[in-house]
Amino acid sequence: MTEEITLVKELQNTQSKERAFRVLISQYKERLYWHIRKIVISHDDADDVLQNTFIKIFRNIDKFKADSKLYSWMYRIATNEAITFINKRAKENNVDIEEWQQENASSIVNDTNFSGEEIQVILQKAIATLPQKQQLVFNMKYFDDLKYTEISEILETSVGGLKASYHHAVKKIEEYIKSIVD
């Protein structure tokens, strides 16, 4: 925590901003990348969104208040950027966001940056059937193993609401997989 406070101070100081930002990127790039990638699916899109996320962080770091944790503030920016991105893509293709995500999940097998097996494609398709919030909660809980309190800070939702979302998400995914595999 002390380290984070020092880093924030350095980030908000013009003299040390760039050096400190390099430290920030190296600490968070992978975590934020995977968080974004699970939302947008394609690597190229994830790369664009990650760059935009860090640019937004760089420009707004002076406005960051210590009343929330730095990582949850950054996760929130990354989440918003990724969702805005897929909404934009869906609009460009004249489809709604659910349809766009279904298409995205189906085309994952053709992605050179996908090394999974058929069951992983099924999982991606199952996740794409969920409402946006359930998708986010499932990915953050199941794959990233974040605590409910952390997810609550990032998504600004109550812990109770998150537990319910996760429960629904797991049940729907289980059913989807069973309907294909069994």
Give the interface with other proteins as residue ranges (CB under 8 A). 18, 22, 25-26, 29-30, 33-34, 37-38, 41, 43, 47, 50-51, 54-55, 58, 108, 113-117, 119-124, 142-143, 166-167, 170-171, 173-174, 177-178, 181
| Shortest CB 58 distance to other proteins, Å | 6
CA–CA separation, 39 vs 18, rounded Å? 29
Give CA–CA dist 95/92, Å, rounded.
Answer: 8
Backbone angles phi, psi at 41, to 5 degrees: 70, -55
CB of 9 to other proteins, least distance (A): 21
Cβ within 8 Å of residue 90, ≥6 positions away = 96, 97, 99, 100
47 vs 103 by CB, closer to other proteins? 47
The nearer residue to other proteins, 75 or 166, going by C-beta atoms, is 166
Q: Which is nearer to other proteins, 30 or 62 (CB)?
A: 30
CA 18 to chain centre: 25
The answer to whether 123 and 55 have CB atoms below 8 angstroms apart is no
Residue (51 or 149) nearer to other proteins, CB: 51
